[in-house]
A and B are shown apart, each in its own frame.
Chain A
Amino acid sequence: MNDGRAMRANGLSTPAAAAVLLWISRTVLGLLVSYPLLLAIKASSMTAGPEGDSVLFQPGSLLLLELLRLTAPYLASALQLGLVLLCLSAIIQLIPLAVALDMLSLPGRPLLERLLRGLRLFPRFVALGAITLLVQAALLLAASLLGAALKPALASADERLRSVAPIALMGLGLIACGVFGGVLDIARATLVRRASGEGGARSSIAQALVCLKQRPLGVLIGVYPSVAGSALSVLAAAWLLTRFVPVQASGAALALAFAVHQLAVLAAIACRVRWLDAALGLSAASD
C-alpha cells in the first residue's frame, strides 16, 4: 500500500502524516535519551515513598534539592550519557526527516520505498548537518569573541550596555545560526527533490545559498513562523500547566500534563513541517 492510500484511509493529509512520523520518531528517541536520567532518579530512593515522585515537585523544592544533593554524581553521569544519546538520536532523526521531506515532495509513494530512499540520503544528510554545525559553531564563537573584545572598550560605558552588549551579540549569533539552519533545510529539500544519487551535500548547500541570494526574504522570513510557533507552543503549554494543572502523580493530572506537552510538541512539529514544505518550494523555485 502506498502512503497516499494509507493516509486517505486514516484521514490524514500529507503534511499531517509527515508531522505524525516526526512526532513518533521524536517520542521514541526521547524515551531513549531520558532513560539514564530516570534510572539515576530511581536509584536515589527519593521517589520510593507513598507519594512517589510528586514530592520532588512540591512548592519550595526542598526535596528536589535533596535529590540533587544526594544524587549529584549519578545525575551528572546520567546527564553525560543522556547527552551522548541525544547526539546519536539527533543523527538518527535525520532518517525520518528525509522520509518526511520525501512525503512532502512527492506524495503517493510506498512507505518502504520512502524509507529506503531516506536511508540512501542519510549519509548526505549527516554531511550537511556536520557542515551546518561547524558553521553555527563558528558563528557563535565569533559572537562570543566579539563580545569579549568589546569588554575593554565598554569599560567606562553604562553598566547596562556593558552587560547587554555580549548578550545581544550572542543573540545575533543565534539568529544567524537560525538563518543558516533555514539554509540547511533548503539544502536538504534540494537533496530530496533531486533524483537518487544526484549531487552531494556541498552542491546542495551551494544551491541553497543561491536560493538565499535570490530570495533572501523568503528564506529569512520563511523560517520565522516555525521558530516563533515552536517557542509559543512550548510557552503556552507551560502557562496552561502552571495555571490550571496541579503537579500530582494522580492519573488525571498526569494524563492532562502528558496531553498538553505532547500537543505542544506536535504543534512545534507542525510549524516545522509547514516550513519544510515552504523550503521545498523555495528550492524548486531556485532551480
Chain B
Amino acid sequence: MRRVTQDLLVGAVFSALSIWLTGALLHSTGSTRAPLPSAKKTEPAWPVLADSAPRVASYEIEAKLDTERHRIVGRETIHFVNRSDAVLNELWFHLYLNAFKNDKTLFLRSPFGAGRSGDKAKEYGYIDVKKLTIRAGDGQDLWLARDRHSPNDPDDETDLRVPLSTPLAPGGALDLDLDFEDQLPELVERTGFVGSFHFVGQWFPKLARLEPNGAFAHFAFHAQSEFYADFGDYEVALDVPNAFSVGATGRKLREQRAQGRTRLVYRAENVHDFAWTAWDRFEERNERIAGTQVRVLYPPHQRQNAEAELESVRFALPHFNARYGTYPYPTLTLVHPPEAAANAGGMEYPTLITTGGPWYSTFGGGHFIDVVTTHELGHQWFYGLLASNEHTEPFLDEGFNSYAEAEALETRFGTASVFGGFGLSVSSTALNRLFSAARGADEKINQGAAEFATFRSLGALVYSRTAIVLETLARVYGSQRFNHALGVYTRKFRFQHPTTADFLGVMQSELDSRAVTLLTQALSERATVDYLVREISNAPISAAAGVFDGPSGREQKKPEAPHQAAEYASRVVVYRHGTLQLPVEIELGFEDGTKQLRHWDGSGFTFNVDNVGPSQLVSVNVDPELRILLDDDRSNNWLSSQGNSSPLCRERALYAAQLLLGAWGP
C-alpha cells in the first residue's frame, strides 16, 4: 500500500508539472521577431477623405420574419437616381435568393465542394416579387413585363431585366415600390436558417449597379462570385418575435414591442447592402472602440470567442483606420454563428461581419478567431468603402484584404500570426506563399470570379497570390512606402467603385512605372519568376609561369601549386526564369568567413557575379532576406561548398523516432 501511495503521489506531481509545462509551451510562439509597430495614428500627405458617396439606389424596407416557416414578407421602396450619362430604358434586378430555388440554377448546378459554401441547399429558398410600380406613375405593374430568366440561361432567375414604360433621362429619379416574399433556404452560402437561427443576406430585390456609361453591371449569381452594388441609404424595419435578438447593418433607430412581436428600425447611410440576423439564443457584448459602437452577438458558452473577437477589433480597427482611412460608420456588428450554422461564418456586409469557429477556438496556439475577425473587418475597407466589382475583379477586394489581414496580424503577433506554440510559429505570409506557389501560374489573377476553373484556384490566386504580389512589392519598395501608396489608394477611392486601372494609377504616382509593369504582369499576365544558381567556380590566379627575359637576365618561373595562389577569380551565374524582372540581392560567402552583397536589377536572364579576392567563394544565397516571395522555387536559390547539410533535422528526426519508439514500442 505504501508503494501505491508513493506511485500515486509521484504520478500526480509529474502530471501537474506536465500540465503546467503544456500551458507554458502553448504560449511559446517561436516568434523571435517582435510584433511590428502599429500604423502611425497620423501621417502627412493623405488625400482628403470623402465623407459620403453619391447615392444612386436607396432602400426603405419593411420585413416581417416568420421564424417557424422561415419566410419573410416584405415591402420595399427604392429611391433611384440615374447618375449615368445615358437615358435608361430598363432596369436590372438581382434576385440572389433565387440561386437556391432548384438544382438547375446557375449557383446550384455548379460542381459543389468547389463553391464558397461547400454545401448544396437542403431546403430550397427563393424570392417572389409580387408587384413593382413607379410611385409617380400610372400604377402599372412593371414586374409583369420582366424577362422570365437571366440572360441566356432559362434555368436561372437571379438576374432579371425590367423594361421601363417611360425612359429615364440622366439626372432623373424614380421611386419604385415593390412587394416581395422570401422563402429562406436551409443555410447555404451565408443565407438561410438552421433551427431558429436565421441569417438573412442577399434577400431583397436589389438593383444592379449602374455604371457611369448607363450600363447596368448585372450578372447571374454564380457559386464562385460575390456582389457589386451602388451606394445608397438603407432604412429597414424588421418585425420578429419578441424572443429573438436581431443584429443588422447600420444603427438601430427605434424598437417597439406589441402583440408578442418586436419591430426594430435600422438605418445605414452610404452603404451598398443590408444584411441581418435573428436568433432566440444570442448573447451579446458591447464596447466602444475607436469611436465606433461595437456589438458582438454570439452563441451561449462562447464568451471566450466573443472576447477574442473584441480584442481583435480593439487592435485592428484603429490599425486599419490609420492605414486606410477612418471607419466612417457609428456601429460595427460582429455575428458569431452557432456551430450548426458554421456556413454563415466568415462573411462581410456593410457594418456587419460574421466570424465563426467552435467554442474551443481560443485554446492552443492558433489564432483562428483573430484571422477571421481581422479579415472580415478589413473588408469594411476592401469591399465596404472601396466597392469594387467583386464579380469581374474579385482580387481587388479579397486579395487586397488578404494582404491587409496579413499585415495587421503580423503587426500584432509577429511571425506567429497564424499559429504560435510549442516553439513553432506560422505566419500569414508563409501560408499565403504556400497556397500562392502551389497554384503559381495556373490562371491569371485578374479575371472574373466565374471564370476561374475551380474555387480552389480562385482561392489560391485571388486571395493568396494577390497578397503575395503586394507583399513582394512591399518588400522590394519598402513596406512603409508601399503601405503609404496603398493608403493613398484607399483614401482616394473611398465611397467609390475603383477598378484595376484606378489602383495602377495610384501605384504609378506613388511608386513608379516599374511597379505598374510588375503589377500588370503579375496580376493580369500570369507572369512568374524563379531565381536560381547552378554552380560556383573558383580559379586560382597564379603568377605567370615560363621563361622570362628581364633586365637581370633570363628567369624561369615554375607554375605555382593551386593552394599557393594569392588570389582567386570566383564566379557564380544567377539565372532568372520567368518574365517578372524583380530586383534581387545576392549574398556571397567566402572561405575566410567574409560576406558580400551584390545587387541585380533583374534585367536580362543571367547575371554573372564575379569576384577577385584572397579567399575562395564557398556559398551563394540569392535573395537572402526573402523579399521576392513570388520566387517559384526557393530550393534552387542557394549553393554551399558544405553541401547539403542537415544536422538540425538529423537531431530532431532522431529524437522524434526515439519518442515514437518509446510510445509505441516496449
Task: Say yes or no: is A214 at the interface (Cβ < 8 Å to chain B).
Answer: no
Q: Are B635 and A53 in contact (CB under 8 A)?
A: no
Answer whether residue B424 sits at the interface, using C-beta atoms and an 8 A cutoff.
yes
Q: Taking CB as reference atom, which chain B residue is nearest A68?
A: B434
Give Cα A68 to B649, complex, Å.
14
Q: Does A97 contact B (CB under 8 A)?
A: yes
A169 at the interface (CB under 8 A from B): no
Q: How far is the CB of A86 from chain B (nearest CB, A)?
A: 6
A228 and B14 in contact (CB under 8 A), knowing A53-B649, A59-B415, A93-B665?
yes
| A34 to B431 Cα, complex, angstroms | 27
Contact B662 A235 (CB under 8 A): no
Q: Contact check: which of A29, A38, A129, A236 meets B661 at CB < 8 Å? A: A29
- Smallest distance from the beta carbon of A204 to chain B beta carbons, Å? 15
A67 to B634, CA, bound (A): 9
DSSP class of A's interface residues: helix, strand, loop or mixed? helix
Would B636 and A50 count as touching, CB distance under 8 A? no
Binds A, one of B16-24, B71-79, B153-161, B607-615: B16-24
Q: Which residues of B contact A235 (CB under 8 A)?
A: 17-18, 21-22, 25
B539 close to A (CB within 8 Å): no
Distance from B597 Cβ to chain A, minimum over Cβ atoms (Å): 13
In the complex the two chains form, is A59's CB within 8 Å of B32's CB?
Answer: yes
Specify which of B339, B644, B661 is in contact with A159 (CB 8 Å cutoff): B339
Q: Which B5-20 residues have a C-beta within 8 angstroms of A?
A: 7-8, 10-12, 14-15, 17-18
B contact residues around A89 at 8 Å (CB): 661, 665
For A98, the closest partner residue in chain B by CB is B666
List A contacts of B437 (CB < 8 A): 66, 69
Within 8 A of A (CB), among B608-655: 618-621, 626, 633-640, 642-651, 653-655
Query: Which of chain B's residues have a CB closer than 8 A to the CB of A27?
Result: 654, 658
A244 to nearest B CB, angstroms?
11
Chain B residues whose CB sits within 8 angstroms of the CB of A115 once the complex forms = none
Q: Contact between A38 and B649 (Cβ–Cβ < 8 Å)?
A: yes
Measured between C-beta atoms, what is the minimum distance from B302 to chain A in Å?
Answer: 8
Q: Which of A37-86 contact B (CB under 8 A)?
A: 37-38, 41-42, 44-54, 56-57, 59-70, 82, 86
Closest to A275 in B: B7
B358: which A residues are within 8 A, CB to CB? Answer: 159, 163
Q: Chain B residues near A59 (CB, 8 Å)? A: 30-33, 414-416, 425, 427
Nearest CB of chain A from residue B592's CB, rounded to whole Å: 14
The minimal Cβ–Cβ distance linking B104 to chain A, given in whole angstroms, is 32
Cβ–Cβ < 8 Å partners of B618 in chain A = 50
Q: Are A70 and B633 also in contact (CB < 8 A) when A47-B644, A49-B639, A242-B30 are?
A: yes
**Quick check: is A232 within 8 A (CB to CB) of the other chain?**
yes
Shortest Cβ distance from residue B167 to the other chain A in the assembled complex, whole angstroms: 56
| B427-A238 in contact (CB<8A) | no
Nearest A residue to B629, CB-CB: A62
Q: Which residue of B lies closest to A97 (CB)?
A: B666
Q: Are A49 and B621 in contact (CB under 8 A)?
A: yes
9-residue interface stretch from A6-14, A145-153, A215-223: A215-223
Query: For the complex, would chain B's binding face be called helix, strand, loop or mixed by DSSP majority?
Result: helix
Contact of B21 among A70, A82, A162, A236 (CB under 8 A): A236
With A238-B25, A242-B30 in contact, do A42 and B653 touch (Cβ < 8 Å)? no
**B483 on the A face (CB < 8 A):** no
| Chain A residues in 8 Å Cβ range of B639 | 48-49
Given A26-B661, A163-B358 in contact, is the A254-B644 Cβ separation under 8 Å? no
Partner of A222, one of B7, B414, B642: B7
With both chains docked as a complex, state the minimum distance between the C-beta of A11 and any C-beta of chain B, in angstroms. Answer: 25
Complex: chain B residue closest to A227, CB-CB? B11
Tell whether, in the assembled complex, residue B640 and residue A242 are in contact, meaning their CB atoms are under 8 Å apart.
no
CA distance A254 to B652 in the complex (A): 10
Task: Check B3 for interface membership: any CB of A closer than 8 A.
Answer: yes
Tell me which residues across on chain A come within 8 A of B7, comparing CB atoms.
Answer: 221-222, 224-225, 278
B640 to chain A, nearest CB (A): 5
Max chain A CB contacts within 10 Å: which of B360, B637, B658?
B658
When C-beta atoms are compared, the residue in chain B nearest to A253 turns out to be B648
Among residues of B, the one whose C-beta sits closest to the C-beta of A70 is: B635
- In Å, the complex CA distance between A229 and B7 comes to 11
B117 close to A (CB within 8 Å): no
A62 touches B637 (CB 8 A): no
Tell whether, in the assembled complex, residue B626 and residue A62 are in contact, meaning their CB atoms are under 8 Å apart: yes
CB distance from B442 to the nearest CB of A (A): 14
The answer to whether residues A224 and B25 also contact, given A48-B640, A65-B430, A66-B437 and a CB cut-off of 8 A, is: no
Contact residue among B430, B650, B662 (Cβ-Cβ distance under 8 Å from A38): B650
Contacts A48-B643, A265-B662 hold; do A247 and B635 have CB atoms under 8 A apart?
Answer: no
Give the distance to chain B from A87, nearest Cβ to Cβ, in Å. Answer: 9
Q: Chain B contacts of A159 at CB under 8 A?
A: 299, 301, 338-339, 358-359
Q: Do B647 and A53 touch (CB < 8 A)? A: yes
Cross-chain contact of B647 among A26, A52, A239 (Cβ < 8 A): A52
Interface residues on B, range: 35 or more
Rounded to whole Å, the gap between the CB of A245 and the closest CB of chain B is 10
- Chain B residues with CB under 8 A of A258: 651
Task: Tell me whether B661 and A90 are in contact (CB under 8 A).
Answer: yes
How far is the CB of A100 from the nearest CB of chain B, in Å? 9
Q: How far is the CA of A193 from the CA of B615 in the complex (A)?
A: 67
CB within 8 Å of B: which A11-30 residues = 26-27, 29-30
> In the complex, are the beta carbons of B661 and A93 less than 8 A apart?
yes
Taking A59-B32, A93-B666 as contacts, is the C-beta distance between A34 and B653 under 8 angstroms?
Answer: yes
Q: Tell me, yes or no, whether B659 is within 8 Å of chain A by CB.
A: yes
In the assembled complex, B657 has its CB within 8 A of some CB on chain A = yes
Q: Which residues of A contact B434 (CB under 8 A)?
A: 65-66, 68-69
Instruction: Say yes or no: B425 contacts A61, CB within 8 Å.
Output: yes
| Whole-angstrom distance between the Cβ of B378 and the nearest chain A Cβ | 20
Q: Cα distance A68–B635 when bound, in Å?
A: 11
Beta-carbon contact of B658 and A247 below 8 Å? no
Say if the beta carbon of B422 comes within 8 Å of chain A: yes
- Within 245-281 of A, Cβ neighbours of B (below 8 Å) are at 246-249, 254, 257-258, 261-262, 264-265, 268-269, 272, 278
**From B18, B431, B618, residue with most partner A Cβ within 10 Å:** B18
Contacts of B657 in A (CB 8 A): 29-31, 33-34, 82, 86
Contact assessment for B646 and A243 in the assembled complex, using a CB-CB cutoff below 8 Å:
no
B565 at the interface (CB under 8 A from A): no
Find chain A residues with CB under 8 A from B12 CB.
228
Bound together, the chains give a CA A249 to CA B644 distance in angstroms of 13
Cβ–Cβ < 8 Å partners of B424 in chain A: 61
Enumerate chain B residues within 8 angstroms of A38, measured Cβ to Cβ. Answer: 646, 649-650, 653
Residues of chain A having any CB pair with chain B under 8 Å: 26-27, 29-31, 33-34, 37-38, 41-42, 44-54, 56-57, 59-70, 82, 86, 89-90, 93-94, 97, 129, 158-160, 162-163, 188, 217-218, 221-222, 224-225, 227-232, 234-236, 238-239, 241-243, 246-249, 254, 257-258, 261-262, 264-265, 268-269, 272, 278
Q: Would you mind naming 6 contact pairs between A and B with Cβ atoms under 8 Å apart?
A: A30-B661, A33-B661, A34-B654, A45-B636, A54-B648, A66-B634
- B residues bordering A, Cβ < 8 Å? 3-4, 7-8, 10-12, 14-15, 17-18, 21-22, 24-25, 28, 30-33, 299-301, 338-339, 358-360, 414-416, 422-427, 429-431, 433-434, 437-438, 587, 589, 618-621, 626, 633-640, 642-651, 653-662, 664-666
Q: A222-B4, A232-B15, A232-B21 are in contact. List 13 more A-B contacts (CB 8 A).
A: A30-B657, A34-B654, A50-B619, A50-B642, A53-B645, A53-B648, A65-B431, A86-B664, A90-B666, A93-B666, A232-B17, A236-B21, A239-B24
Q: Which 5 A-B pairs have the closest CB atoms?
A: A49-B638, A228-B14, A60-B415, A242-B423, A50-B619
